[in-house]
Structure 1
């Protein structure tokens, strides 16, 4: 397996590929979660006591933040939006007494929101990696300082 880490085999290295896969999967999943919400941005929560503009912000952060993650463009901003939305989702589930992992698959839990929160936190801390639009837009120096 040492050949996989050989810079001659893949000049950008495996960490960049790992971050790319993580961004694509997470971004696609977030965009899918936000797709239905973005179609009704001011009312997707029904009669919940959440103002419409906050519902629209959550829908936009999930959908557009997911698209941004896929391409690795404005990654820190996308991560902050998704983390904020997932934090609110986690807190609302915890306040209702939902466990982290539900005993039944259909029961409410905050497991998925927690996973999305921590994945985007990790991407926020590491950066999008070399295989991203951010890397090409903002220069090599800045992108390699945050993640290799």
Structure 2
């Protein structure tokens, strides 16, 4: 087992857990509050549902290693949008009342790293693709 595989596994699981908790919090705190907040910053309220579902379901998918590259790419886009639309004006460390974009940029970088490199160690994808690969080899024989 190579070190980078262990490293991407750690990134994938931590990133997945982080997004899962953030998505769950949107539902537990009342998704209507998030819908209202989206509207107050000039975004369509229905996007709150998409973001909360992506964070919750995508977080679980990352933890188990299902569609890691695609989910991570979606998370990178989400973090880029959040940074530009909400956090950029607050600065890197925030304004004393709201956090800055330091966490957002860290989550963006983690997401981008997994989207680029993938993360197959201890993943559902590894099981699925390994099975397809072995069927392909046995058919060719």
TM-score (norm 1): 0.74
- The 1:141/1:130 distance shift into structure 2, 3 A limit, reads farther
Aligned 1:50-89 pairs, distance under 5 A? 50-89=43-82
Indicate the residue corresponding to 1:139 in structure 2: 130
Contact 2:16/2:63, CA 8 A, preserved across alignment = yes
Q: Deviations over 1:74-109 (max 9, x none)?
A: 1122112211211111011355x21112365x5331
- Which structure is higher in helix share? 2
Computed over aligned residues only, the root mean square deviation of the Cα atoms, in angstroms, reads: 2.4
Indicate the residue corresponding to 1:7 in structure 2: none
TM-score (norm 2): 0.77
Indicate the residue corresponding to 1:27 in structure 2: 16
Tell which has more relative contact order, 1 or 2 (C-alpha 8 A, sep 6+). 2
List runs of 5+ in structure 2 lacking aligned partners.
Answer: 134-141
- The 1:125/1:56 distance shift into structure 2, 3 A limit, reads same
Q: Deviations over 1:42-78 (max 9, x none)?
A: 5414242322321111111211111111111011221
